[in-house]
């Protein structure tokens, strides 16, 4: 059965905006992109991301936090996402990619066509 995968590329400003939105929604201070003084992203994946703010506060995000922030950002910006797909993130030169795959298609046939009676098959 064919499987579909999908990637969404977030520029670094979009990625950082997603992290700011996530922080605010979880009850943290409302920071803006202008408040960020340094960004530390693990380039081998996004296992950890650190944002250093101008007031010397360091915000730390796990990979699960990063995925959650990108999902929240997509919801806020009306970007449809498959809910039952596995999701992973990776860093590339252009930004951060949210990669989704292995969701079930709801258009799968419920029976094997080869086992249908001849009378139920479509004419050639």
CA 107 – CA 73 distance, rounded (Å): 28
Indicate the helix (H) or strand (E) that contains 86: strand 86-92
Assess if residue 24 is contained within a domain. yes
Q: Which domain holds residue 90?
A: 5-101
Tell me, yes or no, whether 85 lies in a domain: yes
Q: Name every residue whose Cβ is closer than 8 Å to that of residue 83 and which is 6 or more positions away in sequence.
A: none
Mean pLDDT value across the chain: 81
At 58-106, the pLDDT tens digits run 999 998 999 999 999 999 999 998 888 889 888 888 989 999 987 655 5
Task: Give the count of domains, the chain.
Answer: 1
Alpha-carbon gap, residue 69 to 28, rounded angstroms: 13
In a domain, 26, yes or no: yes
What's the token pair of residue 17?
A: 């905006």
Q: Is the pLDDT of residue 51 over 70?
A: yes
23 is a domain residue = yes
């Amino acid at each position: 059965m064919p499987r579909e995968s999908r990637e969404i590329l977030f520029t670094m400003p979009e990625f950082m905006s997603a992290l700011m939105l996530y922080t605010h929604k979880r009850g943290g201070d409302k920071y803006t992109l202008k408040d960020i003084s340094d960004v530390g992203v693990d380039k081998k994946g996004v296992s950890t991301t650190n944002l250093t703010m101008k007031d010397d506060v360091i915000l730390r995000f796990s990979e699960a936090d990063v995925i959650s922030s990108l999902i929240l950002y997509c919801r806020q910006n009306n970007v449809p996402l498959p809910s039952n797909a596995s999701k992973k993130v990776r860093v590339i030169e252009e930004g951060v990619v949210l990669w989704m795959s292995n969701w079930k298609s709801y258009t799968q046939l419920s029976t094997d066509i080869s086992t249908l009676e001849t009378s139920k098959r479509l004419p050639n």
